[in-house]
Amino acid sequence: MLICPLCRGTLQPDEQGATCPAGHRFDRARQGYLNLLPVQHKKSRDPGDNQAMVEARRRFLEAGHYAPLALRLTELAAERAPRRWLDVGCGEGYYTAQLAAALPAADGYALDISREAVKRACRRAAQLTWLVASMARVPLADASCELLASLFSPLDWQEARRLLAPGGGLLRMGPTREHLLELRGLLYDEVREYDDAKHLSLIPPGMRLAHSETLSYRLRLDAAGDRADLLAMTPHGWRANAEHRAAVIAAPLEVTIAIRYDWIERN
C-alpha cells in the first residue's frame, strides 16, 4: 500500500519507520506518524499550516461550530462503504477522526504536508496510518483507495485519479459563494464573487460527477475568541488588513455556513 516517495518502491513499515527495497529509510515519530516528505520535496523549511493556525482550527472545530458539516460528511462516506480510504490534507484531524469512527471496518490513511498538524491529528485515532507527505506526491500505490476525502483542501486531480480504484470516488467538501459572506463583507472593501462549480472543469478524463449537494445554516459567534480563531484558520485572516480584523473580533457576528459536497467517481 505505502510506496517510497523517492523511488516509488514498496515500503515495508515497522515500529521504527519504513524501508523500501532500494534502502531508503523513513522514521516514525514518537507520536506515531511516518514522515514521508523528503527534504528535496519541500518548498520551505516547515511547509503547511503553522502551530498557531493548527491550534486555532482545533479550538474552533472542537467548539462544535462545524459539527453539522462533519455529520453529513460521515453519512456520505458511510453510504459508500469503502474498504480503504485516504484523507488528503487532513489538517489537525477533526474530520478524519469522525470518518474513522463512521468507517470502523475500513483501512484508513491520512496525510498532510504540515508536520504540526499531523502531530496533533494522530492523537485522535491511533488505528489510522498518519503521514506527513505531499499531496502532489502521495506515497500510496496506484488504484489503492476506494474513497478519497478532500476537505477544504487543495487537490491534485491527476493524483486523485491515480489513487482511486475503478468504481471508487473522491468525496470533496468545499465552500460555496455564500460561505462566510458576512465575514468577507466586513473584511474587504469589495467582496469577490466566485463560481461554486469551477472545480468541476478540472475533473480529468476517467472521472465524473455522480452526486452533489449543499448544506447551509446560520452560525452566531458571540465569543471574541471564536471570531479570532475563525480568522486565524481561514485565508481571510492574513489577507485582510489589521483594522478590519480587529473590527471583526470586537463585536458579535452571525455568518452563513454554506458548503458543497461532491462525489466524483472514477469510471
CA–CA separation, 117 vs 153, rounded Å?
13
CA–CA separation, 257 vs 171, rounded Å?
19
* 231 within 8 A of 248, measured Cβ to Cβ: yes
Residue 17 corresponds to which cell in the numbers above? Answer: 519507520
CA–CA separation, 58 vs 8, rounded Å?
33
Residue with cell 458571540: 222
> Does 236 show up as a binding residue in the annotation?
no
> Does 4 show up as a binding residue in the annotation?
yes
CA–CA separation, 24 vs 171, rounded Å?
32
CA–CA separation, 137 vs 94, rounded Å?
23
- Return the axis-axis angle of helices 94-102 and 67-80, rounded to nearest 10°: 40
* 84 within 8 A of 141, measured Cβ to Cβ: no
> Does 145 show up as a binding residue in the annotation?
no
> Does 122 show up as a binding residue in the annotation?
no
CA–CA separation, 169 vs 56, rounded Å?
31
Identity of residue 77: A
Distance linking the first and last C-alpha atoms of the chain: 21
> Does 244 show up as a binding residue in the annotation?
no
Query: Residues near 180 by Cβ (< 8 Å), separated by ≥ 6?
Result: 230, 234, 236, 255, 256, 257
Residue with cell 477522526: 97
Binding residue positions for Zn(2+): 4, 7, 20, 24
Binding residue positions for S-adenosyl-L-methionine: 66, 92-93, 179
Binding residue positions: 4, 7, 20, 24, 66, 92-93, 179
